[in-house]
Amino acid sequence: MDCKRFIEEQITSIKETIGEAKAINALSGGVDSSLVTMLGHRALGEQLRTVLIDNALMRKGELEYVVKSFASLDIEVELVDARQEFLDALAGLTDPEEKRQAITDTFYSKVFGRLVRESGAKFLLHGTILTDIEETVDGIKRQHNILTQLGINTEAVYGYSVLEPLKTLRKDDVREVAKLAGLPAEISQRIPFPGPALATRIVGEITLERIETVRIATAIVEEELADSDAFQYMAVLLNDRATGIRNKKRQFGQIIVVRCIESTDARTATVTQLPWEKLNRISERITGIEGVNRCLYDLTPKPPATIEYI
Ligand code: XMP
């Protein structure tokens, strides 16, 4: 694809659609929302307010990392603490689609609705990509960021219009455009991380304690596999327990799954054949986490599995 032309067209189109109005966008630190932030600021400058919503589900060090990375690109990112709202909305839920729905509602209706009202923004710039749309419309799973394609009139429901400059791109195209748009390689080549964040990696109820367990495991996996060249890698906390031994005593502990996959666009994926020593090292570190006594490696391609667990 012609990335240069794509960037120019999108900047012109964002300018034309928004005119003199105010716009807002949520940055998660992933490549999709980072690229939207970049294009949006090039098109709108000060008319665009970029927020980073702390939903209590972010990875270790993520908030600081994102704010710092964009500060070095001269883009101000405003932190919004919405941790309690997300935790309250998720409390007691175990069904994956109900959890996704709770995150969508909290994000677009409660937190964003409030920000939009306060700021007087008329438009939300959104990092939806083609794969998100296809899988939601096909009924595979409800991606948190799909609204208009499900027939939701965002203006009537949430009070703002949604603009989706990346909706014709797949992940590999997004990375290429991101590079050309001036995002540093550490962002343009960043492994995908979903909007609902660590919630997609917790099977069963989401509590502060369970988030912390998966957060530590995620940091270990990301550290160990940073040099793997894989498309995506993650840690997942299961809802089951297994018997093990801790301090010479029986322990009914938690189970972490490690997943590492190869893909170009996330529509299909195969499992990375990681070296045995690497898997062993990850397992040793993961089972060192408080309360965790088993570590499994997921051997399932997509399909039949999806990449995330909820
Ligand atoms: P699945 O699990 O559907 O994931 O095979 C495909 C790709 O999409 C990411 N993903 C999401 N990204 N919002 C996002 O922004 C979501 O709700 C969402 N769910 C999955 C996932 O990490 C993978 O790269």
Q: Per residue in 129-159, pLDDT tens? A: 998 888 777 766 666 677 777 677 788 877 8
Residue 208: is its pLDDT beyond 80? yes
Q: Which residue has the tokens 């070095």?
A: 72
The token pair that represents 63 in the structure block:
């908030």
Q: How far is the CA of 247 from the centre of ligand 1 (A)?
A: 38
In terms of Cα–Cα distance, which of 1, 33, 41 is closest to 188?
33
Supply φ then ψ for residue 25, to 5 degrees: -145, 150
Task: Looking at the CA of residue 171, tell me the nearest atom of ligand 1.
Answer: 24
Ligand 1 binding site (Cβ under 6 Å of any ligand atom):
132, 135, 141, 143-145, 192, 194-196, 200, 232, 266, 302, 306-308
pLDDT of residue 51: 96
Integer angstrom CA distances of residue 66 from 56, 71, 136, 174: 15, 8, 28, 18
Yes or no: say if 122 and 23 are a contact pair by the CB < 8 Å rule: yes
Could you read off the pLDDT of 224-262 as tens digits, one per residue? 999 999 999 999 999 999 999 999 999 999 999 999 999
Integer angstrom CA distances of residue 54 from 32, 107, 197: 18, 10, 10
Q: How far is the CA of 199 from the centre of ligand 1 (A)?
A: 11
In terms of Cα–Cα distance, which of 260, 195, 208, 196 is closest to 230?
260
In terms of Cα–Cα distance, which of 96, 102, 98 is closest to 201?
96
Nearest residue by C-alpha to atom 6 in ligand 1? 266
Task: Looking at the CA of residue 103, tell me the nearest atom of ligand 1.
Answer: 17
Average pLDDT of the residues in 114-133: 90
Q: How far is Cα 281 from Cα 304, in angstroms, rounded to an integer? A: 28
Any idea what DSSP says for residue 302? Answer: B
Entry field: residues in the chain: 310
Tell me the three state secondary structure of residue 54: strand
Entry pTM: 0.91
* Ligand 1 probe mutation, 143, 234, 270, most atoms within 8 A of CB: 143
Task: Looking at the CA of residue 128, tell me the nearest atom of ligand 1.
Answer: 15
